[in-house]
Amino acid sequence: MPAVIPHRAAMATLIAGSLLAPTAFAATACLAQSPAAAATVIELYTSEGCNSCPPADQWLSRVKARPGVVALAFHVDYWDRLGWADRFGSPAHTQRQHAQAALNGARFAYTPQVVVDGVDRKDWPVPASQWLLSRRPVAPVALTLAWEGSALSATVQAAPGAPSRLAAYWAVTENGHVSAVKAGENAGVTLKHDEVVREYVPVPAWAAQPGASVPLRFTPATAPDAQHPREVTLVVVDPATGRPLQALKLGC
């Protein structure tokens, strides 16, 4: 699990790949540091309009608390045509699913789809799956996240053996959502959702050098909601393969 500690620091900033001038923390911030082991990144592609998705939503709610797991539920929008518009659905999530299909081994986009560490996995219902229990490799990058007022600052440090280029994405997630579905395949069903991605922002690829740290900065557009705890995740990936290298979530 990442350590969350108070921290003061100064760092240059990068918003979606654009470098800005250095800035300093104005006050003590909430901070998290990634462990040596790589996180298990689980992406669930789901929809309130798909009647086979609720079991996957429930499964994600169970596994999200496992040590070392970073879970993200991307609600897609292509099931909206059946008469129920998923309020969490986004064209950006659909585009991501289609773009990743060429990399994760899936022949087509479908729901519910579970992608673990960048690989399409159809064995997700199996309890205590081996890919959740197996020993995690050492991550080739180290991450630090810290809140600075309403913005999140990060550093990404490449270790020897890291790819020569890195990319990333930010995801703002919320927990504890409930929807009473009125139409479509799930008409009359009350659905519960965790780790719902409310905001997804890719960071363009950059050149990585072993030992060098790259600063990033992100300001969520999603306002905090006391009824639905918000967390922000940074996932660093190999842009050549789409595979996650490390991920870190901060919910302060």
Average pLDDT for 90-108: 93
Domain that holds residue 131: 3-250
Average pLDDT for 114-119: 95
Please report, for the domain that includes residue 118, its CATH number. 2.60.40.10
Q: Which of 4-13, 101-110, 174-183 has the lowest mean pLDDT?
A: 4-13
Give residue 192's pLDDT: 97
Q: Which of 121-135, 170-184, 222-236 has the lowest mean pLDDT?
A: 121-135
Give residue 5's pLDDT: 38
CB 29 within 8 A of CB 6: yes
The pLDDT-based confidence of 22 (bands split at 50, 70, 90) is: very low
Give residue 252's pLDDT: 76
Is the pLDDT assigned to residue 8 strictly greater than 70?
no
Give residue 224's pLDDT: 83
Give residue 242's pLDDT: 94
Q: How many angstroms separate the Cα of 201 from the Cα of each of 86, 129, 198?
A: 20, 30, 10
Is the pLDDT assigned to residue 27 strictly greater than 90?
no
Average pLDDT for 200-209: 97
Among 119, 83, 123, residue whose Cα is nearest residue 102: 119
> Token match 């979530």: residue?
249
Q: How many angstroms separate the Cα of 13 from the Cα of each of 67, 149, 157, 251?
A: 30, 14, 14, 20
| Mean pLDDT of the chain, nearest integer | 88
Query: Is the pTM higher than 0.75?
Result: yes
Domain count along the chain: 1
